Structure 1
Amino acid sequence: MAQYDESVIQVYADALYERAAVIVFQYSAGVGVLGALGAHFSVGDQTAITAGFGIGALFGFILGRGKSFRLRLEAQTALCQMQIERNTRPSSRAPSLVLDEHATQCIAEDKAAPAPSEQSEAMARAIFSNNGEAVSRLIAGGADVNLPNENGVTPLQMARNCERREITALLIAAGAQK
């Protein structure tokens, strides 16, 4: 299996931004030329051709802006996913935790929930891996559903960013806010 490489996402996002930067001009010019050609073949006079180009360019501009926006949004989504990966992948300074033995034992024995940083990391891992059962166990074990991670991202925000609808519903039912 291939390794995760965030530089691939960065290159993809950069390419989307580059495409978004020129697409408005391309659409304006392309649709403008089509409008001019349509006017040329239907009416044939210079005023109609100019008007056809102008109207076509306006429609092209509107279409190009919409396409440019979608490309920029797709780039932002990719960069957001990259940041989620950074926030949830194991780091050298923090223990690996998706319901490790310690967290599972605490929940099973009805002991206090893991420390806040462990809670936050375990919740993030469960959300990222789309593990609703792990999220339910963490909630049942007393995990704070409103506790943000070290970057200030709450479990609910993370679930929504990752489009984890079932986990989002679990968190809201457990009192997660914002």
Structure 2
Amino acid sequence: MTNEHSGVSRRKLLRTAAIGVPAVGAAAFGASLATAPAATALAEDGYWGSETTVELQKHLNSVAAANSAVVGGLPLDGQIDSQPASQSSANPGLTGGWQWVSDDAASGSDTIKDLQRWLGVNTDGLIGPNTISALQSYLGQTADGVFDAPSPAIVALQRKLLSSNYP
């Protein structure tokens, strides 16, 4: 089947549209799936999952150079480790990439510690009402200490992460 206007087969059109250049041409330009730049998967949807965490980790790593309180060196793994399970049900806007453990076993996350340092709150690595309220205040949102599903504060965070618009 060909496109009636260009004489190009539908298959070739779809292949070209899917990767930007014809498959044979990609090798000629030295591009590969491993070296091609990846588009961010972060959406402004009000849910804090792995994509939001990766973008936050990138931001905190870049802030570390200018802010000695922030340690940086965070892996870009999209994971928030060892968080109190009681915060999972209290904050339905926190979705994928959060490791929920019993409250007694929660030891915290380096990403949350750096976020807390950056916000100037108690640094224990555990997400909770104080950290959430501080982030909500920073983002100009109502500081109620919870992330609803979807959360306007998480949308504001995602918007800032996408724009890299930080003071």
Larger helix percent: 1
Higher relative contact order (CA closer than 8 Å, sequence separation 6+): 2
The TM-score bracket by the shorter chain reads: under 0.3
Larger strand percent: 2
* Structure whose CA Rg is larger: 1
The TM-score, its normalising length taken from structure 1, stands at 0.23
